[in-house]
Amino acid sequence: MPARKRKPTDVPTVADLCAALQRLAPLELAQDWDNVGLLVGDRGARVRRALLCIDLMPAVVIEAVRQDVQFIVAYHPPIFKAITRLTIPATDPTDAVFRCIAAGIAVYSTHTALDAADGGTNDVIANMCGLKRTHALDYSQNRDAEVKLVTFIPAEHVDEVMQALFTAGAGWIGDYDKCSYRISGMGTFRGGQSTNPTIGRAGRYETVDEIRVETVARRNVLPQVVRALRDAHPYEEPAFDIYPIQPEPRRGIGRYGQLPKPTSLATLTRRLKKSTAAATVQTVGNPQQPISRVIICVGAAGALPFKVGLQRGDVVVTGEIRHHDALAILRHNAAAIALGHWSSERPVLAPFRQKLLDLVPAMEVLISKDDREPFRHQ
């Protein structure tokens, strides 16, 4: 029986893929200096086939054209600085960018968003080490700016006022809407002679049963929420307070955790070299020293591992280590394994491919074969 021909509407768009990638590697988790997300492309274009790679080199673009690919997920962003010209040939990453634009191929970068995401680059290496529970080396500040709105409403008007606030955009917590908290109390006031109070008379001290209501709102909808409150509230001058909310921090880049049982630096090195298929691995420290805690930061670790207070029994697992950082690790009586920058990041592509297919099954996802380690090992 011939396969059912796919309808055009079954084929996902660039926007559909961007939404799926945002779920897998939320862009708000990326470092402030990074350039992640959709870098090139028409959001309405259809995508039948996507290609995953670490580095968007010209050879990868040629492979993508040959494979009739419409979307490339490049882990490292090929655009970091402002582009002043796009020409070929070029000696910078804009060469590959130009070729993608000419071929109608969209380009999306995940980089540090995928480093921080659950199941991302660092978690893949953590699983290879055998870590069962990990903590983040760094935390990303949730950039969703919200406030808490507190107001006081006569009981018989609560539903009417709150509906106005919800309609204006207040009350959302995650996927839940119309969220509020209510508690009964007593309000007091005395209006001046020029006032026209809804309850009581001007110049007289009044007490009234009121409901204290709390709800939340994004800052970008706050003006219309306040306007809705003033319009719907029965009082001439409604009382309300607005409090900033400190967002909950989210797990950021890097991971660390305890091994189920101590092992030697040499044993862990052999395991990771095999699991990542790294061509060459460098180590810092005595190969026989016992390791109990692993600190992971794929790519280039820099000073990040030192945040957790390195000590004897620790090993830093990363891609590349600067000379003076290696000396500092030794001074802390710790150890390190450098898998190679590319080799420490490449293992994420296979599980990431499957997750993307689970979210967007109506397309094909390939892993680039021409995306290669730039170093030759003699």
Q: Check pLDDT > 90 for residue 120.
A: yes
Residues 19, 40: one domain?
A: yes
Higher pLDDT, 81 or 37: 37
The two tokens of residue 282 are: 């460098």
Residues 89, 17: one domain?
A: yes
Peptide bond between residue 305 and the one before it cis (omega within 30 degrees of 0): no
Is 61 within 8 Å of 25 (Cβ atoms)? no
What does the pLDDT read at residue 97?
A: 93
- Segment 286-322, tens digit of pLDDT: 999 999 999 999 999 999 999 899 999 999 999 999 9
2 within a domain of the structure (yes/no): no
Residues 296, 225: one domain?
A: no
Domain encompassing residue 360 = 8-110+348-367
At 139, the pLDDT band (50, 70, 90 cuts) reads confident
377 within a domain of the structure (yes/no): no
What does the pLDDT read at residue 249?
A: 72
Residues 262, 231: one domain?
A: no
Residues 363, 332: one domain?
A: no
Find, among 126, 94, 102, 115, the residue nearest to 27 by Cα.
115
Which string of b and e fits 279-289 if b means at least 16 CB within 10 Å? eeeebbbeeee
Residues 135, 150: one domain?
A: no
- Could you give the percent of the chain with pLDDT greater than 70? 96
Residues 209, 358: one domain?
A: no
Q: How many domains does the chain have?
A: 3
261 within a domain of the structure (yes/no): yes
CATH of the domain at 286: 3.40.1390.30
- Segment 159-200, tens digit of pLDDT: 999 999 999 999 998 779 999 999 999 988 888 878 887 777
- Segment 227-236, tens digit of pLDDT: 999 999 999 8
Residues 273, 236: one domain?
A: no
What does the pLDDT read at residue 144?
A: 58
Which among 244, 266, 299 is the end of a domain?
244
Residues 157, 303: one domain?
A: no
